[in-house]
Structure 1
């Protein structure tokens, strides 16, 4: 009997875990694969929701933890965090000796995973390459595409774009987005299945959710990080005007996160937000269940573009963070303007019909990716196609 193929998956942030949870489960169950789960960066930090707690609760064994986040939440800190990640992950890969390393999406910390694996001649698989957003994430994503050997993309347009970048078409697979696997299960339940206040705590008032509620998730934009406080204040003013029960989630650890967080805290000190409750994080299934039963999502998270498109949740997408990304008709784009945000939300709240879309797949990405990981030839060299 041949030895199991060792698959090292690196999780660097709370969204990354939700994005690949079904991939981890499929690898873990596959008789010919061995999962080596590495948790790093902000996924280990409590102030950003400590995704590691949910990972361990879900029964995944963690092979290594990498603490590499440098405080500062600015561009210099992001660059140095990436550098520390390269140093630490190289040691981890040297110890674990994986057959394939899997990296996820486009956050700046993922660059460290890609560089370490590539320089150590370990085949690299990239999930969610080929997408465009118009900010630093796009640079990171395309750079990882050029470092990666296998590409598990989430849409047909993403597949075309990866091939246009010169990658071997035989190594580019439209698997759909693994997060849609979870959304598919969540869509089967039309009711909120838990009490968010009791289960996740958080701070702020506890508005009654029985007659509908709004969800807000807004992150800083790396190439606009100096304006992050101004951006979040426009949203805060809009939410105050809308005056509906609102559940607000804390931002990612990106350059500008300090401005976003400070803006929220300062606003709360000045004004009474009677209908707003703040959370750090939630388990992926609970978060999607919460979204599925909400009136709309406001902010700039990719969950509004991906999972909400599949679920048909109306989304007000603010600013440039998701520019040019494939989206469904559930999304309304607005600028950093409180009046635009209010008008868009009020319009969506009047809409009864929810348009759904399978642009990011139909719910079997995890199993598809696991099957490919066992079949693909182990290679760390490029076939020139341009």
Structure 2
């Protein structure tokens, strides 16, 4: 049997967390030659040192390419996609993979899909067929039409891919690989390393860190906040994050707050966070540039409520049973469990929803996005192609 060379481009921390469980399976299988390409925000330190995390997890990085154009505006995001397409085409010509495996719905996913398609390299896509807010849904469906093999994360997503006209023999509902990682982390050790988290705290722009006594006691209720820019609402994102931060202060609950991703509007969210920290005397908020995936999962399992607009509240949150307050339009219409309360980006509504979720507590596990076996299913199918 021919060993299949599979290239997986990773464009950021979210990409890596979405595919990490499958990378282990591919690496350990004698049927595949795994190649990893790192690009986009994955190689920028200000969005987290993903490279170091990947290497610490035991993977080799075969290629790195620079393609991010600074600015975090719709213009620079479009230009970054174009530059990524140029650089990825060169990398694909050099690495000559048998298959390219791409993830989700981001601009780097679009560049990957176009490059592979024009170069006649079969494209494998995971987490297609879903609906959501912003431009992500359009990209996701466009990538679906460019892909040859589909691994959607739910039955609803599978049916939507089929309605787009894809061959039913090439569409497999396997669940979300991110759930595999959640299951593995929580079964191994769900305990939060408080000292490790304290060291990574970037309170006051990393100029100072809180003392051990002032830091969060994770045995008591705390909030986890992950709010990214909404690309189709460029110009409004600073106001949105201000509403969230004001709501958290009113709730008077300690909070772990994560920096936004690199989408258009990222600077707006970051600016809102910086201004807030400069003018507020509220000391219960602790800001982090990035957290490794396993630590984030443990925080999701322990938090009284996840606040923001991250898809992790929809996917991992359903499986873990995390109470979630989902703010704004970024996750519009995405399939979700009972653990999610949707609100507009308005302080009073956010406060009301947070208090309700803190009083409700954990939700029953919902396997809407899989049971933690997605990677095993994907490997089994890939061996047959």
Q: Is the 8 A contact 1:114 1:144 kept in 2?
A: yes
SS of equivalent residue, structure 1 residue 125: strand
Cα 1:286/1:143, change in 2 over 3 Å: same
Structure 1 residue 201 and structure 2 residue 201: aligned? yes
SS of equivalent residue, structure 1 residue 31: coil
Structure 1 residue 221 and structure 2 residue 225: aligned? no
Aligned 1:1-386 pairs, distance under 5 A: 2-188=1-187, 189=189, 191-204=191-204, 205=210, 206-376=215-385
User: Could you tell me how far 1:243 is from its partner in structure 2?
Assistant: 1.3
User: Could you tell me how far 1:303 is from its partner in structure 2?
Assistant: 0.2
Give RMSD over aligned pairs.
1.3
User: Could you tell me how far 1:196 is from its partner in structure 2?
Assistant: 4.2
Cα 1:199/1:373, change in 2 over 3 Å: farther
Q: Is the 8 A contact 2:201 2:286 kept in 1?
A: no
User: Could you tell me how far 1:283 is from its partner in structure 2?
Assistant: 1.6
User: Could you tell me how far 1:353 is from its partner in structure 2?
Assistant: 4.5
Cα 1:118/1:296, change in 2 over 3 Å: same
TM-score (normalised: structure 1): 0.95
C-alpha distance in 1, partners of 2:111/2:199?
A: 34
| Runs of at least 4 residues off by over 4 Å | none
User: Could you tell me how far 1:168 is from its partner in structure 2?
Assistant: 0.5
C-alpha distance in 2, partners of 1:265/1:283?
A: 22
Q: Is the 8 A contact 1:207 1:276 kept in 2?
A: no
C-alpha distance in 2, partners of 1:9/1:311?
A: 27
SS of equivalent residue, structure 1 residue 226: coil
Q: Is the 8 A contact 1:128 1:154 kept in 2?
A: yes
C-alpha distance in 1, partners of 2:134/2:26?
A: 32
Name which structure has the greater RCO, CA cutoff 8 Å, separation 6+. Answer: 1
SS of equivalent residue, structure 1 residue 140: helix
Cα 1:196/1:351, change in 2 over 3 Å: farther
C-alpha distance in 1, partners of 2:81/2:158?
A: 27
Structure 1 unaligned blocks of 5 or more: 377-386
SS of equivalent residue, structure 1 residue 86: helix
Worse-superposed segment, 28-37 or 189-198: 189-198
Q: Is the 8 A contact 1:133 1:325 kept in 2?
A: yes
User: Could you tell me how far 1:210 is from its partner in structure 2?
Assistant: 3.0
C-alpha distance in 2, partners of 1:353/1:9?
A: 35
SS of equivalent residue, structure 1 residue 174: coil
Cα 1:195/1:354, change in 2 over 3 Å: farther
SS of equivalent residue, structure 2 residue 234: helix
TM-score (normalised: structure 2): 0.95
Per-residue CA deviation, residues 301-327 of structure 1 (Å, 9 max, x unaligned), is 000000011000000000000011111
User: Could you tell me how far 1:44 is from its partner in structure 2?
Assistant: 0.8
User: Could you tell me how far 1:151 is from its partner in structure 2?
Assistant: 0.5
Cα 1:29/1:300, change in 2 over 3 Å: same
User: Could you tell me how far 1:4 is from its partner in structure 2?
Assistant: 1.1
C-alpha distance in 2, partners of 1:196/1:222?
A: 33
Q: Which residue of 2 aligns with 1:380?
A: none
User: Could you tell me how far 1:199 is from its partner in structure 2?
Assistant: 4.8
Structure 2 unaligned blocks of 5 or more: 205-209
SS of equivalent residue, structure 2 residue 101: strand
